């Protein structure tokens, strides 16, 4: 007699220590093997677009902070660039330089959380503590600049909320010098750790064509070996002035595009961010950071789409203006949301324990997925 | 235990009120449910990480509600999440405590006016012991909130829970 079998459905989340927020994954299992993964989202839908309809242009900036709360500076950055493009205003050089420095510091801070919690998810507790120690140093820099640790509302349309502190340049240089050896420490502690490699190499391989078909961007796409970075390929602000490389996955311990590659791309990206900061920090020109801030933001009718390279990928803002003080609509192309879609492809045929490793390497922020 | 050993070397007897003993034990090891909701969860993580070290107050994240004593509601509670939070709360064994962290879970915060999917305060579904203001609160503020909770537990009586 044939035994009747059926797949088991397992819910992972919304309360789960390693879903990085409130994500529910519906896993369909055959024994330990994963047949299907369906992400259920919407547990953190905070009505961003509704707020964008109801608010004035500058009032939306705090809400962009709260989308990708690990990279608030960069969300501000993308939004203000979009509005400035709509208004057609030039921002002073000093503002541009400070924005780039803040953006790159934020990229490091964001990657530190991503890498730290990634280690935590698959059983390495120590790197988490080390990396949060370093992240506090970046947060100190942000705090002395704008008074906030996490959600900054720092970049305004046409300028910045505060000028940098007189000590900022010195302390940033100190941080850069301090942080360089720390990356080596991280490599020894986690990247080249045998257990870590066993858990991540050859797991969740993302082939190039799948990545492109799903519209995956950021470290995930670069982990698959594609050299695509908007800072180089579609330079915004003043990124074309700096000299930096784009790290890509090479499949050192496994296949190109596995979890380890995605992890490693993030580690190497932090080095490149340090390079950009080093080049920018000494060249900040003098000037007033608030001189170009418009008194009243009332852009002409029209639409604009800008995209920036957020720590998680391509962050796009599509703004429709109907000539009023409020935007008609603001649509956000959130990198985490797009990257999350590929989960189903990545998990197929892997074991349950690997879902954690794969999800951590995708590095989602639920605030941005649900908006 | 070194200091205590020296204090009571001959197998002495300590006389203590039951209330005090229970309260002391409860407030010194508040195990929180490892559960992050939104932005505030990052500050909660920062609080338990190296710089601020939640552990020194006996706060250890547990990943199942059945082993937890407290929840820190760290972030925006949406309508979809509210029923889940209620269920998590109900799974925690008594005595249980709630810290509401940040404006969103206190009252809806910046999403108060137009947030059609945001619960305007987590106290509409579960009882809250300590409210920590801020958007997000600094780790120091969360620590202060914890100290307030400890103070509250210290004054509890077994016969009736303090108001």
Q: Does A189 touch chain B (CB under 8 A)?
A: no
Is the full-model pTM beyond 0.80? Answer: yes
Residue B7 has pLDDT above 80, yes or no: no
Interface contact A136-B51, CB threshold 8 A:
yes
Residue B106 has pLDDT above 70, yes or no: yes
A188 Cβ contact list (under 8 Å, min separation 6): none
Mean pLDDT score, A54-82? 90
Instruction: State the DSSP string of A277-307.
Output: HHHHHTTPPPS-TTTT--SS--PPSEEEEEE
Q: Does A167 touch chain B (CB under 8 A)?
A: no
pLDDT at B4: 65
Residue A332 has pLDDT above 70, yes or no: yes
Q: Alpha-carbon distance B123 to B141, whole Å? A: 19
- Options 2.60.120.10, 2.40.40.20, 3.40.640.10, 1.10.645.10; CATH for A46-369 is 1.10.645.10
Q: What digits encode the pLDDT tens for the residues A194-232? A: 999 988 888 888 899 999 999 999 899 998 988 898 888
Mean pLDDT score, A301-306? 91
Residue A47 has pLDDT above 70, yes or no: yes
Residue B161 has pLDDT above 70, yes or no: no
Residue A353 has pLDDT above 70, yes or no: yes
Residue B131 has pLDDT above 90, yes or no: yes
Q: Beta A24-30 vs A8-12: how paired, if at all?
A: antiparallel
Joined tokens for residue A228: 């695509």
Q: Where are the domains of chain A?
A: 46-369
pLDDT at B1: 52
The residue among A13, A15, A66, A149 with the most chain B CBs within 10 A of its CB, best to mutate, is A15
For residue B42, give the nearest of A42, A51, A150 by CB distance: A150
Mean pLDDT score, B55-78? 89
Q: Rounded to whole angstroms, what are the CA distances from B160 to A157, B153, B157? A: 55, 12, 5
Q: Alpha-carbon distance A348 to A291, whole Å? A: 54
Confidence of residue A344 (pLDDT cuts 50, 70, 90): confident
Average pLDDT for chain A? 89
Which residues in chain A have their CB less than 8 angstroms from residue B88's CB? 15
Instruction: State the DSSP string of B57-112.
Output: GT--EESSGGG-SEEEEES--BHHHHHHHHHHHHHSPSS-EEEEESHHHHH-GGGT
Q: Does A149 touch chain B (CB under 8 A)?
A: yes
Q: Rounded to whole angstroms, what are the CA distances from B67 to A43, B71, B122, B150? A: 24, 11, 22, 19
For residue B76, give the nearest of A42, A44, A150 by CB distance: A44
Interface contact B63-A17, CB threshold 8 A:
yes
Joined tokens for residue A35: 């047949």
pLDDT at A367: 87
Which residues in chain A have their CB less than 8 angstroms from residue B35's CB? 15
pLDDT at A124: 87
Taking only Cα atoms into account, the Rg of chain A, rounded to an integer number of angstroms, comes to 21
pLDDT at B50: 85
Mean pLDDT score, A94-109? 91
Q: What digits encode the pLDDT tens for the residues B49-62? A: 888 888 888 888 88
pLDDT at B160: 63
Interior CA angle at B46 toward B40 and B48, to 5°?
110
Interface contact B115-A46, CB threshold 8 A:
yes
Mean pLDDT score, A292-301? 86
Cross-strand pairs, A331: A318
Q: Alpha-carbon distance A219 to A164, whole Å? A: 30
For residue A47, give the nearest of B38, B45, B118 by CB distance: B118
Q: Does A369 touch chain B (CB under 8 A)?
A: no
Which residue reads 């579960």 in tokens?
B126
Interface contact B110-A62, CB threshold 8 A:
yes
pLDDT at B163: 47
Residue A144 has pLDDT above 70, yes or no: yes
Mean pLDDT score, B88-102? 90
Confidence of residue A109 (pLDDT cuts 50, 70, 90): very high
Q: Rounded to whole angstroms, what are the CA distances from A171 to A31, A166, A281, A347, B52? A: 54, 10, 10, 43, 21
Whether A321 contacts A328, CB under 8 Å: yes
Total Cβ atoms within 10 A of residue B89? 18
For residue B36, give the nearest of A21, A42, A47 by CB distance: A21
Q: Alpha-carbon distance B154 to B149, whole Å? A: 9
Residue A289 has pLDDT above 50, yes or no: yes
Joined tokens for residue A38: 């369906």
Interface contact A46-B111, CB threshold 8 A:
yes
Q: Alpha-carbon distance A312 to A330, whole Å? A: 20
Instruction: Give the gap in angstroms from C-alpha B144 to the nearest C-alpha of chain A.
Output: 17
Joined tokens for residue B94: 């008594």
pLDDT at B115: 86
**Helix axis angle, A259-281 relative to A168-186, nearest 10°?**
150
Interface contact A117-B75, CB threshold 8 A:
no
Of A15-29, A121-135, A158-172, A303-317, give the lowest mean pLDDT range: A15-29
Confidence of residue A288 (pLDDT cuts 50, 70, 90): confident
Interface contact B50-A129, CB threshold 8 A:
yes
Which residue reads 């397992």 in tokens?
A10
Mean pLDDT score, B141-146? 92
Which residues in chain A have their CB less than 8 angstroms from residue B117's CB? 45-47
Instruction: Give the gap in angstroms from C-alpha B13 to the nearest C-alpha of chain A.
Output: 41
pLDDT at A267: 92
Mean pLDDT score, B7-19? 78
pLDDT at A175: 92
Interface contact A14-B81, CB threshold 8 A:
yes
Backbone dihedral region for residue B105 (phi beyond 0: left; psi -120 to 50: alpha; all else: beta): alpha
Whether A370 contacts A43, CB under 8 Å: yes
Which residues in chain A have their CB less than 8 angstroms from residue B63's CB? 16-17
| ipTM entry | 0.86
A57 Cβ contact list (under 8 Å, min separation 6): A83, A157, A297, A299, A325, A326, A327
Which residues in chain B have their CB less than 8 angstroms from residue A11's CB? none
Nearest-by-CA chain A residue for B135: A151
Residue A46 has pLDDT above 50, yes or no: yes
The residue among B71, B76, B118, B119 with the most chain A CBs within 10 A of its CB, best to mutate, is B76
Residue A272 has pLDDT above 70, yes or no: yes
């Amino acid at each position: 007699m044939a035994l009747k079998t059926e797949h088991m459905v397992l819910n992972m989340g919304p309360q789960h220590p390693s879903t990085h927020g409130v994500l529910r994954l519906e896993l369909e299992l055959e024994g330990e093997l994963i047949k299907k993964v369906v992400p259920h989202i919407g547990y953190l839908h905070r009505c961003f677009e509704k707020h964008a309809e109801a608010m004035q242009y500058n009032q939306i900036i705090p809400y962009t902070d709260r989308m990708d709360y690990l990279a608030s500076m960069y969300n501000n950055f993308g939004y203000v660039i979009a509005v400035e493009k709509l208004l057609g205003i030039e921002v002073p050089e000093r503002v541009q330089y400070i924005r780039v420095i803040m953006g790159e510091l934020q990229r490091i801070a964001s990657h530190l959380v991503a890498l730290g919690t990634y280690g935590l998810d698959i059983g390495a507790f120590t790197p988490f503590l080390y990396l949060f120690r370093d992240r506090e140093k970046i947060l100190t820099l942000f705090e002395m600049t704008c008074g906030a640790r996490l959600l900054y509302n720092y970049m305004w349309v046409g300028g910045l909320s505060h000028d940098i502190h007189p000590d900022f340049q010195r302390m940033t240089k100190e941080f850069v010098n301090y942080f360089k050896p720390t990356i080596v420490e991280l490599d020894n502690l986690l990247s080249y750790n045998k257990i870590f490699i066993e858990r991540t190499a050859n797991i969740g391989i993302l082939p190039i064509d799948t990545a492109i078909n799903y519209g995956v961007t950021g470290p995930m796409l670069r982990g698959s070996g594609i050299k695509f970075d908007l800072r180089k390929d579609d330079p915004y602000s003043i990124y074309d002035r700096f000299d930096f490389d784009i790290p890509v996955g090479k499949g050192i311990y496994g296949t190109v595009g596995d979890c380890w590659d995605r992890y490693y791309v993030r580690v190497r990206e932090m080095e490149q961010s340090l390079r950009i900061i080093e080049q920018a920090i000494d060249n900040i020109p003098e000037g007033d950071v608030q001189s170009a801030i418009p008194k009243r933001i009332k852009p002409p009718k029209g639409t604009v789409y800008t995209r920036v390279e957020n720590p998680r990928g391509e962050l796009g803002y599509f703004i429709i203006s109907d000539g009023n003080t409020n935007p008609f609509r603001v649509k956000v192309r959130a990198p985490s949301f797009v990257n999350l879609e590929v989960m189903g492809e990545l998990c197929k045929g892997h074991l349950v324990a690997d879902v954690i490793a794969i999800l951590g390497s995708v590095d989602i922020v639920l605030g941005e997925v649900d908006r | 235990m070194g200091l205590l050993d020296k204090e009571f070397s001959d197998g002495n007897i300590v006389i203590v009120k039951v209330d005090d003993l229970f309260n002391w034990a409860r407030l010194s090891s508040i195990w929180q449910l490892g559960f992050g909701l939104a932005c505030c969860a990052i500050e909660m993580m920062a609080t338990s990480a190296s710089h601020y070290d939640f552990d020194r107050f006996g706060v250890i994240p547990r990943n199942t509600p059945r082993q937890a004593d407290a929840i820190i509601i760290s972030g925006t509670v949406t309508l979809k999440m509210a029923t889940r939070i209620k269920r998590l709360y109900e799974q925690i064994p008594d005595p249980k405590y709630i810290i509401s962290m940040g404006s969103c879970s206190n009252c809806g915060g910046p999403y108060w006016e137009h947030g059609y999917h945001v619960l305007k305060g987590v106290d509409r579904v579960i009882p809250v012991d300590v409210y920590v203001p801020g958007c997000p609160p600094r780790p120091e503020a969360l620590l202060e909130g914890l100290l307030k909770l400890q103070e509250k537990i210290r004054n509890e009586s077994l016969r009736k829970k303090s108001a």
